[in-house]
Chain A
């Protein structure tokens, strides 16, 4: 037998000996070589993905604890725990065990609160992370697929949250399920069957809690973990993006090595996120499910709302008018079309999600920019995208706020109906106004950057020149700062291009129109020539504006 595969290497240090032992058996030296000193750029806005990942870990840890005590059954029991207002009340085993976790399992209440706060944190961190990726253009080639994986994670996260929200089987979550039943029933042709299959018969049935439970603790977490693995694998393949700046190019990554600095920071950050969630759970009640009582189809309470990440769907349902200006529920083609439920979901909430998923391709279609981008855009340097992003936020936020229209009415002493009218208007025109204002603000900030590069920083020192004129001394920005301010592109509108047959088709015309709206007003980066000119002509403040108007292209 040949021993050529066995090495005679003898390590000198203890670390070396352990490493050698492991390496000889599983061959980890390749992994250490690959990742040990891999470079990660450092920026506060890059941390939200980690917050989401760590929240997911905390969710799995706390959720596992809860499964040991939770009883996912709808079989009726008589409560005899120590919560006085429910003593002797008939309720499902699920609700009874949720009460037991809260009152009779030591630390159970804390674990429930950790689990729920971690869920809200998970969804918030994913949302902020996604907004960061959007506003900096990090979704562009080669990362489009990872953007879709991330968007899918968001949607699966919503499912994870909703199935969990429904498990305690209290009046709040039961009415949530009843709304889901109504939404299923609005689906043409097959909706009634979907509802009957989902609930195992008529709502609420006796199967739904155990079905949601297996989805919540097995199927959905498995999908989440799989997607997270794919997401992170792609991050390793692509390497992280970085903000523009001196020394940072499309072909390198500038930052800190995984070992030791980045690993220490990222590892320490896990404990910090855990600490934040524990702090919230120690001091703030979340989902006081004992208030709601066991699910029963008769009662309901003021303030029946979903968790915030489902709010946009609930808000869409609230805003769509039912019978104005005509009944949105009618008979057609042998069936009942329940458009007042179907359209808010398919059109309002659905369009928000679809626009999100397909954005990388929409943007590429308009800009025809198919290059690889590893250096991010500062949001101000992509006024169109930042405007679109803010428009999306306003549309989404309007729906989310609509889900709390009743609380807005009571807390701001306004009429519930007026809140609804205002939010309907906000959903329609808010995004347009938001787009316009944001684009203007971005252009203004870009002009401010030009001003800084051309004329330096205002020092506040006013001096009198020999011939009597007063001027304020401007200190030029140093070359590193200057490079960060000028290293960006400012694409011009791309006119409609004829296709192979030499014709301009209508879709291409739409594209050209969008391109015009996005790029017509633009500010270009200062060039060395301009800077030189500005130095020769200190008095001309018009240098800034002048070069902008020169760059406007029709």
Chain B
């Protein structure tokens, strides 16, 4: 395959058009004549280019050596990001720089060298190759005949029962393996309904785990809160999963600024309110609290909720308000939850409306 000719030949074989056509279209002049490069006509230039290529390969070798200087020659030890000793960071950065530059030079030397060689010393005559149809009529006819013979010899058309049972078995067999994926996870959406919050569970600080007195929550402060019972869990039995649902933001507003709807009058403690921190959009923690505007902002997609207005959506893509956690003060003055959330936390999902109704019935 391949009908090669150089530019000169292509020029002579340019398509010749009729006289009328040449008034409509310009004739193809063919490839322009080849102009020699300096390295083609001047052997000194060619020798110079050769030396440049050699130099580039030498640079590559030096680059490899530089890599080893970085690897073996730089002593990186100690602790990184130590506030008292910035030295290890500097050495690691230097090592990374030297090794990286070493690789870069090693690669650039080879690459630029080879390309320079190709550009200046290898022939630069453009060549022409004819294209051929992807397939020929004869091949297609022959292939079709072969396929028909094959199908005929299997007898699959004459024996429909054989064909149909084959199709049935071939469809069913892979489905057995698809079934296996069923056990990738549990299949009960109702786990999304509940969190660890319950009657009398203390609100504790994240990450220290210490309980919070109502008096400590001053106006304008924000506490990142977990249920005290979370500490009974370990990573092996659901710590992160429960934490992912039960994170709460605790704020204190002037009670006169709070708009409280019917049924939620006793959910706050003198202006102290607790809301789920899980965004109702796609679940990022909405932890940005602006104490003067009472707005909560999600840093992922900028959903904005108004804490003074029961965390209704005021901007952004979230589809419903943040669930509120009813709280009260226990006998020792610590904040505790009155119950679980009254609706599922986090983003919307297919069963959510059903769950909301069920939870309203349970409450």
Contacts and interface: CB of A to CB of B under 8 A. Distances in A.
Contacts of A335: 350-351, 353-354
Interface of A: 33-34, 37-39, 74-76, 82-85, 87, 90, 103, 106-107, 109-110, 113-114, 142, 175, 178-179, 181-183, 185-193, 195-207, 237-239, 246-247, 249-257, 260-261, 264-265, 267-276, 278-279, 281-283, 290, 295-304, 314, 317-323, 327-329, 331, 334-336, 338-341, 344, 374, 405-406, 416-417, 420, 479-480, 482-483, 486-487, 526-529
Interface stretch (B212-220, B276-284, B328-336): B276-284
Contact of A196 (B10, B14, B185, B346): B185
B127 A272 contact: no
B32 A268 contact: no
B131 A179 contact: no
A110 B100 contact: yes
Contacts of B315: 417, 420
Contacts of A479: 26, 29
A20 B244 CA distance: 67
Given A254-B127, A336-B353, A103 B189 contact: no
Contact of B185 (A85, A201, A301): A201
Given A269-B115, A299-B285, A300-B299, A39 B127 contact: yes
What 7 A-B pairs come out closest when comparing CB atoms? A282-B100, A182-B282, A329-B319, A271-B111, A268-B114, A297-B244, A247-B31
Nearest to A271: B111
Given A110-B96, A268-B111, A303-B299, A279 B281 contact: no
Nearest to B113: A268
A71 to B, nearest CB: 15
Interface of B: 1-2, 4, 7, 10-11, 14-15, 22-26, 28-32, 71, 76, 78-83, 88, 92, 95-101, 103-108, 110-115, 117-119, 122-124, 126-131, 134, 181-182, 184-189, 191-192, 206-207, 224, 226, 234-236, 238, 240-241, 243-245, 247, 277-279, 281-285, 287-288, 299-303, 313, 315-320, 346-354
A175 B4 contact: no
Given A109-B92, A179-B300, A264 B241 contact: no
Contact of A327 (B117, B277, B319, B351): B319
A500 B299 CA distance: 58
6 contacts: A84-B82, A182-B279, A199-B185, A203-B283, A206-B236, A300-B299
Given A107-B71, A254-B128, A321-B317, A341 B281 contact: yes
Contact of B317 (A106, A252, A341, A526): A341
Given A198-B184, A255-B127, A267-B114, A193 B81 contact: no
B79 to A, nearest CB: 5
A322 B100 contact: no
A486 B26 contact: yes
A255 to B, nearest CB: 6
